[in-house]
Structures are given as C-alpha cells and as structure tokens.
Amino acid sequence: MSLDQTIRIERWTPLSRAAILIAALVLVLLAAGPLLFSNNAIDKLTTLFIYVMLAVCWNALAGYGGLVSVGQQAFFGLGAYAAVRLADAGLSVYPALVIAAVLVAIVSLPISAFMLRLKGGEFAIGMWVVAALCHLLVNLDSLVQGETGTSLIALNAYEADTRHALTYWVALGSMTAILAILFALLRSRVGSAIQAIRDNEEAAASVGVRVMSTKRIIFVFAAFGAALAGALWLATAITFQPKTYFGVQWTAYMIFMVLVGGLGTFEGAILGAVIFFVIEAWFGASGVWYLVGLGATALVFALFLPRGLWGWLERRYDLALLPLGYRVTIGGQPPSRERTPQGGPAAPAPTGNAG
C-alpha cells in the first residue's frame, strides 16, 4: 500500500458525528422541558444554561484568545441593567433581554479600543477597573436608586407558569446560539488567527494576521455572551441590585468552571459548567464553606490536572467530540493528541494530529 493511500486528513470522526447527533436529540428533549418538568426543575435548568454561556464565553476570551479577564462582571451587570432600562422604556420584556446584550456588545467596542492595548496582568486588572467603574455609573441612575436596586416589573404581566417557560426557552435558545456561533467561529480562519495570537502575537502579526481586529472580535463576542447571561439572570431573579450583578464572584465562577473543565477546550467549558452547577446544587447552602470548597477544588485542579478534566480525557483517550481542527491518520492509527499548556493545538509532528 502506497503512502498516499495510508494518509488520511479528517475533521469529523464517527465519534464526533455521533456526539453531534446526541447533542441535537438532547436539545430537542430540552425544548420540551416546560411540558415535562416542574417549575423548580425548569428554573434549575435555566440556571445551568446561563452557567454554560458564562463558561464558554470566558473560555473563548482566555482559553482561545489568551485574554485573561477578571472583569467580565462588567458586561454581566450591564446586560441586566440595560434590560431593566429597556423594559422601563416600554419595550417588551423578552425581546429586551436580547436587545440589551446587543447594546452592551456595541458599548464594548470603544472599551476594546483601550483595553486591548494592554497585555497580561495589565489587561486583567484593567478589566476589573472597568467593572468597578460601570458599577459606580449604574449606581448614579435614579431608576436603580443606588444599591437599593430595582425590579424587572414588566415580568409581572406574565403568569408564573408562562414566565418560567418563556425564560427557560429564551435561555435554551440563547445558549444554543452562543455555542453554535462560537463553534463556527473557532473552526474558521478567524478562530485560527485568534489561537495564533494567543500563542505568539508578534509571530501572528508577521504572517499577516490582523491582531487588533481579531482580538476585538473575540472580546466583543465574550462581552455579548456575558451581557446576555446577565439579562437572563435578571429574568430569573427579577430584582436588580448593582452590588450583586457587578460582583467579582461572577468572574470567579467563570474561571472555576473553565479551570475544572479544561481551559482552551470547547467541551471542557461545558463540562465545567455542569460540574459547578452540581456542586452548587449540593453544597450552595453551606455558606462560606461552599466558597472555601470551590477555592480548594480549583487549587487541586491547578496543581494536579492543569488541563482540566476534559483536557486530561482528551489527551489520554484522544477524544474529539466537537473537533475544531483536523486529524492526520497514518495507516489507520491516529497518534495521541498534543496540546500546548494553554490548551490550544500544538504544531503537528509529521505523524501527529492537528487539534
């Protein structure tokens, strides 16, 4: 058998095709959730969908873009605030949730012009400063009444069952859209450029990558996702208190989910959100010990599983349920997948995989 006949380059595998089919079936089942589950179960699933959105967007920013932010609560809080403002202006409440996220994404454009000039720790701290500034500005709005806050009163127009179902469907649709857009983005040339910038910004620029515009795409996308999650959280909680929505704990949750699931892996962020959701459901009522447990768990993963659970599974068993790159197989035997410490694909060896 000639060498040409034994080399095969592929992106989708039988396992990944099966995974996509199963995911589609799960989404169909979840779409019927309000007809099958109680309001309590619907509310919990809505929370899970919001966590998935937060995790995948922060992972896109830090895991794939190399932009580690500790200020994503700025966009989370602004999304909720914009939804309150739009609803107060008379806009129908559920369209207001999505439009609020779009407006925050637009606001993030001028913010990116300044923040993307910063690198490393400067960017991380700079984003925290942006979040603190947004918190202070929102407090000045007479509608919000400082830390007293306000409520999404427009939701009272809906009966309880209808409100639970509509919020659930909007959250499910938003999560699905975020995942689909990000998946398509990371599989495109823009996705390759984003990861090239993360690995070496100067080298990426030297081969023609438009560094600032590419970084701006992922920055605005992450801002949109966080804002949409914040608006949806408001729809579940109804009340808006700036101190809660602009609290740094939201970014801490994002970091925890991505670190545990697998930084720089598409599936890992989803897995991390599920793990965090389960931990919160079981131990969330434990008060300060719950936070201590989250910190200790994150520390253990950082020390012993720096690639996260999915990163470890992927490396050990060569799993690729949602492949972003290509695989090169020789003689029907794909070698083990190699990844950089940040979780992105390493340069493929002559007989290796391009993750």
Q: What is the CATH number of the domain that holds 84?
A: 1.10.3470.10
| Residue 79, in any domain of the structure | yes
State residue 330's pLDDT score: 66
Range of the domain at 186: 36-278
| Residue 21, in any domain of the structure | no
The closest of 36, 322, 54, 275 to 180, measured between CA atoms, is 322
Q: What is the pLDDT of residues 314-346, one digit of tens each?
A: 888 777 787 776 666 665 555 544 444 344 444
Q: What is the pLDDT of residues 85-101, one digit of tens each?
A: 999 998 999 999 999 99
Percent of the chain with pLDDT over 70: 89
Nearest-angstrom CA–CA distance, 152 and 335: 54
Nearest-angstrom CA–CA distance, 212 and 42: 41
| Residue 348, in any domain of the structure | no
Which residues are 333's β-sheet partners?
A: 330
Global confidence as pTM: 0.88
| Residue 19, in any domain of the structure | no
* Domains of the chain: total: 1
Helix, strand, or coil (residue 15): helix
Q: What is the pLDDT of residues 14-54, one digit of tens each?
A: 888 888 899 999 999 999 999 999 989 999 999 999 999 99
DSSP H or E stretch at residue 354:
none
| Residue 271, in any domain of the structure | yes
| Residue 298, in any domain of the structure | no
Q: What is the pLDDT of residues 240-298, one digit of tens each?
A: 999 999 999 999 999 999 999 999 889 999 999 999 999 888 877 777 777 787 878 88
Degrees, nearest 5: CA angle 329-330-336: 55
- The dihedral through the CA atoms of 280, 282, 288, 293 has a sign that is negative
State residue 334's pLDDT score: 55
Q: What is the pLDDT of residues 52-110, one digit of tens each?
A: 999 999 999 999 999 999 999 999 999 999 999 999 998 999 999 999 999 999 999 99
Which whole-number Å values give the CA distances from 351 to 4, 12, 311, in the listed order? 14, 18, 21
State residue 313's pLDDT score: 86
| Residue 351, in any domain of the structure | no
| Residue 294, in any domain of the structure | no
State residue 6's pLDDT score: 67
